[in-house]
């Protein structure tokens, strides 16, 4: 989701990111500057897709805090201070920046599964819709769905796929819940067929 939303923010924006199941472990942390935007958080792969898609990316490893901090509140007690510093226009703490090459080469650029269900039951995928032929059928839970530009282009209660405002392939139902109708949840796999 981060890679899909970040380009909508102006250059100079600062993102404080704390999806961090390894909090309190020896995993590192850093400040990433990619295409003029800052990202602060754990060095756990959270920024992998941002780095891959960036025209230019630099990484500043964050030094460990001088004062002891709780092991489970790195976002609040470590990363937030760095993010505030960057928002004020100061440089990241620590040493020199290094190039930020992708470090998880086996991770996909696109994820062929549902990554988020919104409050209406629309199912967002990890697939970029741009480049997917509109004749392609999306197969989920043994249902074959066709493309539509908008909800009104399909009959009431009909499921379909479309390119959402973030440029991702999303599955929806006209005036219904795709999650309910198609039994979808985060992690449900998606196949593409022409």
What does the pLDDT look like over 47-90, one tens digit per residue?
999 998 899 999 999 998 888 888 889 999 999 999 999 999 99
- Give the model's pLDDT for residue 102: 64
Domain ranges of the chain: 2-99, 111-193
Provide the CATH number for the domain formed by 2-99 in this structure: 3.40.50.10790
Find tokens 């309190």 and name the residue: 24
Instruction: Show Cβ contacts of residue 129 under 8 Å, excluding neighbours closer than 6 positions.
Output: 162, 163, 164, 167, 168, 169, 170
- Give the model's pLDDT for residue 105: 80
For the chain, which residues score pLDDT lower than 70? Answer: 101-102
Same fold for the pair 2-99 and 111-193: no
- Give the model's pLDDT for residue 29: 92
CATH class entry, domain 111-193: mainly beta
């Amino acid at each position: 989701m981060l890679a899909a939303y970040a380009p909508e923010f102006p250059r100079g924006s600062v993102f404080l990111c704390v999806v961090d199941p390894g909090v309190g472990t020896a995993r590192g942390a850093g400040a990433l500057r990619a295409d003029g935007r800052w990202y602060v958080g754990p060095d756990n792969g959270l920024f992998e897709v941002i780095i891959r898609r960036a025209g230019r990316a630099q990484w500043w490893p964050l030094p460990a805090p001088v004062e002891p901090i709780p092991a489970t509140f790195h976002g609040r007690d470590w990363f937030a201070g760095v993010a505030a510093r960057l928002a004020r226009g100061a440089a990241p703490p620590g040493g020199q920046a290094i190039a930020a090459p992708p470090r998880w080469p086996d991770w996909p650029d696109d994820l062929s599964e549902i990554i988020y269900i919104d409050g209406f039951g629309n199912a967002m995928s990890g697939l970029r819709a741009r480049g997917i032929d509109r004749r392609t059928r999306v197969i989920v839970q043994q249902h074959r769905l066709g493309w539509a530009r908008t909800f009104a282009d399909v009959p009431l209660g009909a499921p379909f796929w479309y390119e959402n405002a973030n440029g991702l392939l999303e599955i929806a139902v006209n005036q219904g819940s795709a999650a309910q109708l198609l039994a979808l949840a985060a992690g449900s796999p998606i196949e593409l067929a022409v």
